[in-house]
Amino acid sequence: MKASQYNIATLKEVPADAEIVSHQLLIRAGFIRKVASGIYNWLPIGLRVLQKVEGIIRQEMNSSGALEVMMPVVQPAELWQESGRWGEYDEGMLLKFNDRHQRAFCLGPTHEEVITDLAKTELKSHKQLPINFYQIQTKFRDETRPRFGVLRAREFIMKDAYSFHVNDESLEETYQLMHDTYTRILKRMQLNFRPVLADTGNIGGSASIEFHVLADSGEDKIAFSTKSDYAANVEMAEALAPPEETTEPKVLEEIATPYAGTIEEVSSLLKVGADRMIKTLIVKGTDTPLVALAIRGDHQLNELKAEKVSGITVPLTMATNAEIQAACNASPGSVGIVGLDLPIVADRSAAVLRNFVCGANNDGFHLLNVNWDRDVSHSIVCDLRDVVEGDPSPDGNGEIQFKRGIEVGHIFQLGNKYSKAMNATVLDDNGNAVVMSMGCYGMGVTRLVGAIIEQNHDENGIVWPAVIAPFHVVIIVINAHKSKQVTKVADEIYTQLSDNNIEILLDDRDGYRPGVKFADSELLGIPYRIVIGERGLANDVVEVTERRSGDINDVALDDVVEKLTGLVQQDLKQ
Ligand code: ATP
Ligand code: MG
């Protein structure tokens, strides 16, 4: 590709709304342009990168045996009503509209309904199973806070696959196969990533793993073990029970704590660590009575875990001050678990404490030396809190530490949630209708482009791995207008490298200073740069720079094609 006939659209300025590096660089390097909030154009050079990401995904999905299909972006409401998600799917995310006949539609944020309907009509016999359909298609989610460029867009491209099975064993096999396929895809992209235990959210189902690209800019916090492969989304990581304390119970005392309501205030007033205190949170479900949750003062409630505690109908919300006053006869700052006439659920770490502090259910007072069995009755104990760094890893190996990640993939065992609701069955050997089991496997194609940049950049721009790079080599000619030989040599190297399937950008732009071309080549992130100028040619050499290391070498003119071909081919093989 000759730059003079291409669209090199680099910018000097960082756009004001671009908070993180991948967003800034994608715009500055001229890969994308904003159309509206969370909606982007992909310019020619950006599309080349996007298609490489798609290409790797498509190749690995095909070799896993999955079959590519294409489903519509526009989906009729009826299918979502059939699955029960028309009113249930994350409020606001679904962009709904009517056609000219007042028939309701939405823009697909995901495709479980459409694929289940398709499978229901196309699959008749268990002999057609297992089968895994996938597509690479545009999704629309009306995200509350679109940001970070392509990382959290409203319109984005996802690879989504859906597998169908006659039983759960077969589902587990394909789920594992997709786990391996995702691992291969992300390795080929040379990403530093981790599979992470995840919540199944509103897509439903049982087992689920997210694939996270590690990056400080990631929106998700992941709990890792310092010693093993254990990794879980923080909201999912289990907090184990610490050993029981053994100190002898002391005499219970009520103590005045005027003007102290928060844990910090009471802690500094009484000179007791927050880890020796218990906070009592009064919560309710949509149609359940109040429940008291007891958490250690220095810990945070994990609502997801609390929602799983029996008796609370999701979503869980905090009780109002008036409800707390009525139930506990105290304001929230003085609520405690002693003498409380509500079901009490205690976190494991709170349940092992002895001689702790909690509210007295008497405004302006707290209790000292509270002990579970002696002073509090009828509590159940479970895991209710977020893990913190230093907690023992739930697999018994090492300690928890946190890192941030960008979720680029998510695999689920859906079971029969959709197939049952939509009556998608096949006939078994005996001619009986069996509801199919399903798996679903998403991967963010456009998000991956941003995630790759988050891990591959320096102060001068993007540093693409060769497998993703829009071009493998950029050739810069110096003062071509003054020297016919420079142009001739550049054209020869360009032709010969192209014949070897090396993708080249020949920067032959007239009227651009060499410094501008150098800066552009670095911003664009092209792995190798060849500089051809009169001075080098006088010694029969050209200058070759490797983008990632910055290493610069003179290479003999006769060797340059072979050398660059070898380097690129080796990079592509990795
Ligand atoms: P997130 O938690 O980041 O909002 P999600 O869990 O809602 O994502 P899934 O429904 O699991 O997303 O979708 C599968 C994949 O699609 C995600 O793993 C992610 O890579 C990609 N994806 C989801 N939402 C977006 C978005 N707004 N912009 C770009 N990619 C997205
Ligand atoms: Mg997800």
- Is 129 contained in some domain? yes
Q: Say what the pLDDT of residue 206 is.
A: 67
Atom of ligand 1 nearest to the CA of 211: 18
Same domain, 197 and 111: yes
CA of 85 from ligand 1 middle (Å) equals 18
Q: Say what the pLDDT of residue 15 is.
A: 85
- Is 146 contained in some domain? yes
CA of 52 from ligand 1 middle (Å) equals 20
CATH (domain of 196): 3.30.930.10
Same domain, 172 and 76: yes
Q: Whose CA is nearest to atom 24 of ligand 1?
A: 152
Q: Which residues line ligand 1 (CB under 6 A)?
A: 110, 141, 143, 152-153, 156, 158, 407-410, 442, 444, 446-447
Taking each helix axis as running N to C, give the angle between helix 168-188 and helix 44-63, from 0 to 180 degrees, rounded to the nearest 10: 140
Same domain, 75 and 203: yes
Please state, in angstroms and rounded to a whole number, the distance separating the CA atoms of residues 380 and 350: 11
Q: Total structural domains in the chain?
A: 3
Q: Whose CA is nearest to atom 1 of ligand 1?
A: 407
Q: Say what the pLDDT of residue 203 is.
A: 52
- Is 318 contained in some domain? yes
Same domain, 353 and 316: yes
Range of the domain at 39: 15-238+402-453
What DSSP letter does each residue of 438-498 carry, written as one string?
EEEEEEEHHHHHHHHHHHSEETTEE---TTT-S-SEEEEESSGGG-HHHHHHHHHHHHHHH
What DSSP letter does each residue of 172-203 carry, written as one string?
HHHHHHHHHHHHHHHHHTT--EEEEE---GGG
Same domain, 448 and 470: no
State what percent of residues in the chain have pLDDT above 70.
99
Same domain, 320 and 407: no
- pLDDT tens for each residue of 193-203: 999 998 766 55
- pLDDT tens for each residue of 455-491: 999 999 999 999 999 999 999 999 877 889 999 999 9
Q: Say what the pLDDT of residue 379 is.
A: 84
- Is 87 contained in some domain? yes
- Is 6 contained in some domain? no
Please state, in angstroms and rounded to a whole number, the distance separating the CA atoms of residues 200 and 196: 12
- Is 553 contained in some domain? yes
Q: Supply angle C-alpha 309, 310, 313, rounded to 5.
A: 95
**Nearest Cα residue to 210 out of 198, 200, 202, 218:** 198
Instruction: State which residues of the chain have pLDDT below 50.
Output: none
Q: Say what the pLDDT of residue 540 is.
A: 97
Q: Whose CA is nearest to atom 22 of ligand 1?
A: 444
Same domain, 176 and 259: no
CA of 342 from ligand 1 middle (Å) equals 39
Same domain, 28 and 153: yes
Question: Is 314:356 a contact under the CB 8 Å cutoff?
Answer: no
- pLDDT tens for each residue of 226-267: 999 999 999 889 999 999 999 999 999 999 999 888 999 999
- Is 182 contained in some domain? yes
- Is 423 contained in some domain? yes
CATH (domain of 489): 3.40.50.800
Residues 6 or more apart whose CB falls under 8 angstroms from that of 366 comprise 254, 255, 257, 260, 266, 270, 334, 336, 357, 358, 359, 360
What DSSP letter does each residue of 265-320 carry, written as one string?
HHHHHHT--GGGBEEEEEEE-SSS--EEEEEETTS-B-HHHHHHSTT-PSSPEEPP
Q: Whose CA is nearest to atom 23 of ligand 1?
A: 444
Same domain, 231 and 187: yes
CATH (domain of 364): 3.90.960.10
Q: Whose CA is nearest to atom 11 of ligand 1?
A: 410
Please state, in angstroms and rounded to a whole number, the distance separating the CA atoms of residues 297 and 415: 39
- pLDDT tens for each residue of 489-524: 999 999 999 999 999 999 999 889 999 999 999 999
The conformation of residue 165, written as its DSSP 8-state character, comes to E
Same domain, 162 and 309: no
Same domain, 66 and 173: yes
Average pLDDT, the chain: 95
- pLDDT tens for each residue of 256-307: 999 888 999 999 999 999 999 999 999 998 887 899 999 999 999 999 899 8
**Nearest Cα residue to 455 out of 157, 215, 295:** 215
